[in-house]
Amino acid sequence: MKTIGILGGLGPESTVSYYTHITRHYYALRGDYAYPNIVVYSMSFRPIIEAGYDAPDEVLAAIESLHRAGADFVVAACNSIHLVYERVAPQAPIPWVSIMDATAEAITAGNLSRVGLLGTRFTMGKGFFQKALSRHGIEALVPEEDAREEINRIIFDELVRNDVRADSRTFVQGCIETLQKRGAEGIVLGCTELPFLIRSEDSPLPVFDTAEIHANKALEMAME
């Protein structure tokens, strides 16, 4: 099997969720503990936030470290860091598997063409995720600016520390209902911490958990 490299730390709770999901899902599939080798490079979160996730040199250096540690490919356990994906992936010594393309595959498999996108203000506002989905024929709608700012606050002030609050869930559910009225057929949880807050039973629309989708893709590639 191939060795999985996880670019993590952005933040730590979602990094743990990737590792846990990959190992547990492997056991569910095979019933043994021969899951793939996994190498984790945990980046310091603060300088990445201060750079507005626009840190291509730091990301490339981290991928190179994973390569030296034996990783055959890398998944970044963060949607927002994919802001630099198109600049970094062509230079990387090993494949960087896009969370955006993995999510698009899942949406296409569900026969949907218009989704609501929730995430940090960087993911919702910078356009890179929408652009990636559009290449697969998928339109992505985002909340209005004031709602985007509140979702961003919930992520950084609460979910990055796995602090899950009922009032925050209610707020995000209201955003989902608004996106549904605007024509969204499904909801992309475009922050790898959002699944701590919103589960499928919390949404009137199909939910696409990007962390789970991406982790499944990594395991699938490792087992090929």
Where residue 111 sits, what CATH number does that domain have? 3.40.50.1860
User: Per-residue pLDDT averaged across 189-217, rounded?
Assistant: 97
Query: Do 94 and 113 have their domain in common?
Result: no
Report pLDDT digits (tens) over 64-80: 999 999 999 999 999 99
User: Per-residue pLDDT averaged across 215-219, rounded?
Assistant: 98
What is the pTM assigned to this prediction? Answer: 0.95
> Which tokens go with 123?
């993911």
Q: How many structural domains does the chain have?
A: 2
> Which tokens go with 214?
């991406």
Q: What is the pLDDT of residue 206?
A: 98
Q: Are 194 and 118 in contact (CB under 8 A)?
A: yes
Q: What is the pLDDT of residue 95?
A: 98
Report pLDDT digits (tens) over 125-153: 999 999 999 999 999 999 999 999 999 99
Instruction: Tell me, rounded to whole angstroms, the distance of Cα 1 from its chain centroid.
Output: 24
Confidence tier at 169 by pLDDT (50, 70, 90):
very high
Query: Do 131 and 184 have their domain in common?
Result: yes
